[in-house]
Amino acid sequence: MKRAVLGALMCSLGACAAPGITLLSQNRIGLERIGSSTARIGYVFATENNTGIRLRGSVRRSPPLRGPIPGHIDLNVISPDGAPVEQKVVDYRIRNLHSREAHFSTVITTYLPPGTILRLRHHAGPHG
Ligand SMILES: [Zn+2]
């Protein structure tokens, strides 16, 4: 009961703060999706919890064929003044061979000040 009342109060202030609110819709964090010739980034959700920011999203083959999608995602965290903060490789998984899209999930534990940009780039090839 208490929780419901608190939720209602938050909503009345104009920012309806449901648990796991998306940071992207608040414009606290920017997002760039960069596709490759074989795949593009689909939906992306960013939610904040006590361990950090969880980023979830999808990767779709382009053209939209079924089956495994080669490659991975290169995630770059870019500070509000344009400096690279963090880079990591994010792997995704396809649910089954008939699926047209793969899903990924990763947690960013670095503090991200407002204005930070998360750049997600599909990278079809390996590193090095
Ligand atoms: Zn890469």
Q: What pLDDT does residue 83 have?
A: 95
Residue 9 Cα to ligand 1 middle (Å): 44
pLDDT tens column, 35-44: 999 999 999 9
Residue 35 CA to ligand 1 center (angstroms) comes to: 12
- What mean pLDDT do residues 2-10 have? 46
Question: From the CA of 41, how far away is ligand 1's center (Å)?
Answer: 14
CA distance 31 to 115: 10
Residue 9 scores a pLDDT above 60: no
In the structure, ligand 1 is a single-atom ion and the residues with CB under 5 Å from it are 74, 123
Give the model's pLDDT for residue 110: 85
Cβ neighbour number for residue 40 with a 10 Å cutoff: 17
65 CA to centre of ligand 1 in angstroms: 22
Query: What pLDDT is recorded for position 22?
Result: 61
Give me the chain's average pLDDT, please.
82
Name residue 122's beta-bridge partners: 73
Domains of the chain plus CATH, in order, are 20-123 (2.60.40)
